[in-house]
Structure 1
Amino acid sequence: MNPSRNAVNRTLLALTGTVLLAGGGWLALTADAVAGRLPAGWPAPDAGTVLLDRPGLAEPRGHGWWTPVVVAGTALALLLCLAWFLAQLRRGGGRRLPLAGPPLTLRTRALADAVARRAEATDGVDRAHVHLPAGKKRSRARVRVLLEPGAAPGPVLERLAHGPLDEARASLAPHPLRTRVRVGVRSARERRAR
């Protein structure tokens, strides 16, 4: 995980936890059983009151701005939490793939980067991009390869299959790896896909 993102996540979780813990602690310490033992300056609600009572809420509701501000604030908080959650899924270092030993795992992004580098080192390949959407027991690799001008697709596919893709399969054994390779060339007329 990215260290800066990790720090932001921990900070936000710590702040949220601190606010919830402080609020819960305040409510617990101001209960009738504990209120008599608190210091004199401790803020406590009056005996027999609730945190949000009807008369207390009626006053702000009488203003025209109250309802739109509460709805907009709640919607904004929901959207921020949803964006944060989606960012965790999208920018994560990838899923962890189980390897041969139970405690051993490998991030999909690390394997995809390694396979892409090995594919780009293959004769006839100009650029390569690998995407590994992984499942629990079965993985798929989507490989896009841009050939160098004049390179024949057949021999390049053969070298890819017996080079980087075989190495990726071996690293994930005993779990199967299905691969789909798309081959392209610089000219739109010569583009082929498999």
Structure 2
Amino acid sequence: MNPLRNAVNRTLLALTGAALLAGGGWLALGGSGTADRLPTWWPRPEDGTALLDRARLADWRAEDWWTPAVVAGTAAALLLCLTWLLAQPRRGGDRRLPLAGPPLTLRSRALADAVARRAEATPGVARAHVRLPAGPKRSRARVRLLLEPGAAPGPVLRRLTHGPLDEARASLAPHPLRTDVRLGARSRRERRTR
């Protein structure tokens, strides 16, 4: 994840959490049951008051600006939250994989693309798709291969394991790379229609 985005996310979450915690603490501890035990500087609501009473809410609803303001504020909050959500990277997106030296990293998408290109160059493979969702110390490669008609899965899998996947493991050493491979076959009928 981008360090700037990570810092912004953590700051916004911390500020939201602090505001909710302060508001909840004020409401919970400001009640009449605990008011005697609180320090003198703690802000206390007056006895019998509510955060928003029905009479004041009815007065606000009678105003012409109330409904458009509430709708606009809610829509703006929703758009802000959706924008923030969509700005986040999806799980399994492009991450940085640790290499042998501490300052060295490799983008997971770059390694996945390289493994996919090498896999497609393997005899018997029509198409390859590779995903590398990575953790801090362990990586996992999810490989989907579409085999050519008549290609034997065993030899193709051996060539894939001792070729592109071994190269990927070597590039991530000393961190392990676990691989899941799914094989599918292209039918002769599909080949004729193209």
Query: Normalising to structure 1: TM-score of the pair?
Result: 0.60
Measure, in 2, the Cα distance between the counterparts of 1:80 and 1:126: 44
Measure, in 2, the Cα distance between the counterparts of 1:126 and 1:65: 63
1:3-152 correspondence runs (5 A): 62-64=62-64, 66-67=66-67, 69-90=69-90, 94-152=94-152
CA contact (8 A) 1:93 1:107 kept: no
CA contact (8 A) 2:97 2:105 kept: yes
SS in 2 for 1:90: coil
Amino acid at match of 2:120: E
Give 4+ residue runs of structure 1 displaced > 6 Å after superposition: none
Q: Name the structure 2 match of 1:28.
A: none
Identity, % of aligned positions: 81
Measure, in 2, the Cα distance between the counterparts of 1:114 and 1:71: 49
SS in 1 for 2:88: helix
Is 1:165 the counterpart of 2:165? The answer is yes
For the aligned residues, what is the CA RMSD? 3.1
Measure, in 2, the Cα distance between the counterparts of 1:137 and 1:62: 60
SS in 1 for 2:140: strand
Measure, in 1, the Cα distance between the counterparts of 2:186 and 2:92: 32
CA contact (8 A) 1:108 1:134 kept: yes
Measure, in 1, the Cα distance between the counterparts of 2:77 and 2:91: 21
CA contact (8 A) 2:92 2:131 kept: no
Measure, in 1, the Cα distance between the counterparts of 2:181 and 2:77: 42
Structure 1 residue 183: deviation in Å?
0.3
Amino acid at match of 1:143: V
Q: Which runs of 5+ in 1 are unaligned?
A: 2-8, 14-57, 189-194
Measure, in 1, the Cα distance between the counterparts of 2:106 and 2:179: 18
Measure, in 2, the Cα distance between the counterparts of 1:186 and 1:119: 16
Structure 1 residue 68: deviation in Å?
5.2
CA contact (8 A) 1:138 1:176 kept: yes
Measure, in 2, the Cα distance between the counterparts of 1:74 and 1:92: 32
Measure, in 1, the Cα distance between the counterparts of 2:119 and 2:96: 22
CA contact (8 A) 1:123 1:156 kept: yes
SS in 2 for 1:162: helix
